[in-house]
Structure 1
Amino acid sequence: MSAASIKPIKLYRSIVSGHAHRAELFLSLLGLPYEAVDIDLRAGQQKSEEFLRLNPFGQVPVIDDAGTIVSDSNAILVYLALKYGGDTWLPRDPVGASNVQRWLSVAAGEIAFGPGLARIGKQFGRPVNMEAAASLAHRLFNLMELHLQERAYLASGHPTIADIAAYSYIARAPEGDVSLDAYPALRAWLQRIEALPRFLPMIELVKPAASANAA
């Protein structure tokens, strides 16, 4: 199915959410037409009755693909990869698929509660144990540094949704006062993602902003 023949996918997002960014980044990389619908998290729009019909958890992102509703950023990546990405972004073989799933779990765990949580605490004024979040981030980055010294991408010899799931909050780790200076292989991996055709950067925050809900 060509991108030109696809009805635009609705993406319910917040531009400050790394979870929403990973969904939007993947839509862009796939060359899929989409319509961004901005949700005002500060005003609590994600908790409105209308939005909760899309996602009862009250979190962005959500996509509406011609009536098929998918919420949760990692679930969206899997859906888009299986429907539109061929065999490249999510391998079908057991070993390849399990390698990707391992990093999707890291994205929902260590990345979310390390660099992601540190960014939330610094930029959005949420009550966060910044020392614990930074410690988790650096422990993860040390592991990833070793991993990426031997390979170009996280789960395969080419980009997969594992890389897309991991990118956004790691790229913006300095916004949570988590430096990337000590991790040259990790920074080189970020640059490889940024060099992909149709790459879409995540907004850079320059000052503390409003609190946000993301998934």
Structure 2
Amino acid sequence: MIKLYDFELSGNCYKLRLLMHFLRVPYEPVTVDFYPGREHKSEKFLAINPWGQLPVLDEGDYRLRDAQAILVYLASKYDDECTWFPIDPEARGQVMAWLAVADDITRTAAAARLHDALGYALDIDAARNGARTVFKLIDDHLAHRESEGRLWLAADHPTVADIACFPYTALSHEGGILRDDFPALQRWIDRVRHLKDFIGMPGIPAPKV
């Protein structure tokens, strides 16, 4: 069975829990005390991932770090219909481009959240301004696609691109970044939250039935 080295409040860990829930992939969570325990920097954890970062997936003899890479692995292995990571070259190229955007969201919006919620020392103005720049680009992209009747980032259906970009966008208010100026982005967040079998995390509640 898959082991997921996990921290409940991590958006990067959550996106893997979310995809595995959608795909009905069983896994064993291994809780790592990221904060305040900083277990991800412990000698024991560094033997698992020398980069000292969460999440990490462990499946038998195979171990993989990096949330976006793990999303691709899970979708490639467990999605028999190839919808979450499409095999069409053009769609797959678009998905990969949005996985890079997910890293930009982590670098900016997630960093601002770490500053506000956990007291990390960083240039908070640069993080917030960077996040707003990224959000404006995403909002423009989504608004254009909505005008064509297309509701998702990279394809005509949800993909790992949407899952990768979702958590730290939806949690941006915890880093002092409001989304009132990005209506298409807000609508996309709501669409993701209303996907069948959606599960939430602290700060991202599942819709009330």
Runs of 4+ in 1 over 4 A off after TM superposition: none
Structure 1 position 90 matched with structure 2 position 89: no
Cα distance change of structure 1 residues 67 and 200 upon mapping to structure 2, 3 Å threshold = farther
Q: Superposition RMSD on alpha carbons, in Å? A: 1.4
TM-score after normalising by structure 2: 0.89
- Displacement of 1:183: 1.4
Contact 1:168 1:202 in 2 (8 A): no
- Displacement of 1:202: 2.1
Q: Mapping of 1:12-161 within 5 angstroms?
A: 12-41=5-34, 42-86=36-80, 87-108=82-103, 110-149=104-143, 150=145, 151-161=150-160
Distance of 1:122 and 1:176 partners within structure 2:
6
Distance of 1:113 and 1:53 partners within structure 2:
25
Distance of 1:174 and 1:49 partners within structure 2:
34
* Runs of 5+ consecutive residues of structure 2 not aligned to the other structure: 205-209
Contact 1:116 1:173 in 2 (8 A): yes
Whose RCO is larger (CA < 8 A, sep 6+)?
Answer: 1
Structure 1 position 188 matched with structure 2 position 183: no
1:113-132 superposed Cα distances (whole Å, 9 cap, x missing partner): 22111111111111121111
Aligned residues, how many?
197
TM-score after normalising by structure 1: 0.87
Contact 1:29 1:196 in 2 (8 A): no
Cα distance change of structure 1 residues 65 and 197 upon mapping to structure 2, 3 Å threshold = farther
Identity between Structure 1 and Structure 2 (%): 40
Distance of 1:12 and 1:116 partners within structure 2:
19
Q: Mapping of 1:189-208 within 5 angstroms?
A: 189-204=188-203
- Displacement of 1:148: 0.8
- Displacement of 1:175: 0.3
